[in-house]
Structure 1
Amino acid sequence: MPRGEKTKYTDKQQRKAEHIEESYEKRGVPEDEAEARAWATVNKQSGGGERKGGSGRSKGETAKRAERKDSAHRTADARQGKSPNKGSARSSTSTSTALADMTRDQLMEKARERDIRGRSKMRKNELLRALS
């Protein structure tokens, strides 16, 4: 059973969770399990509740976008039977997720290594964009 209140989720996220839950129930998954899987899916795709006053661990839009893209690529690869370690053409997408987890100072060091112009005045999101 999913824990916590769901008031921090947008209406769109709640509708998405309901739709996913119904889909699981049609496939014979028990109601509690279907609800838990649905909220886990919404959290994975969007990073959790998006209303103000959330968990305090919010990620920037750029980081969320990079993680969603990476997740979608891994799902597509899995459907085609590719294992994550087969050296697919998307090896750089895992880098973008790793970049999103870095601090600004770590990103600045990478930007320095790649000699990116204007890096000293960039914010973390701008560094992420420049490096990916």
Structure 2
Amino acid sequence: MPQGQWSRKRERQYEHIKASAKERGTSEDRAEEIAARTVNKNRARAGESKQASKSSLRDMSPQERGGKRSGRPGPRGRTKDQLYAEAQRRGIKGRSQMNKKELLDALDR
């Protein structure tokens, strides 16, 4: 259990997701990351965490999403909010005026 404040339910959820990812051939580290991110997003959506990002609260749940947006380009690619957050992390100027396509192009440069 990576987080001390997780409930027993969240711990079971973490272990289940981690085991499922490992069964699909994911490495141990990546399986732990996927499980922790999924549990933390569910905690944020349920109001169980002190902080939550806008995308965690407004976006669909990880279970509903089911890999629909796994970073692939095209219509199943990242959301505009995800692209904007990445542009913000990279310090891309003019990002607030960009549409989704422009953000994607700026990030690809």
TM-score range, shorter chain: 0.3 to 0.5
Higher relative contact order by CA 8 Å / sep ≥ 6: 1 or 2?
Answer: 1
TM-score between the two structures when normalised by the length of structure 2: 0.46
Q: Which has the larger radius of gyration?
A: 1
In the superposition, the TM-score normalised over structure 1's length comes to 0.39
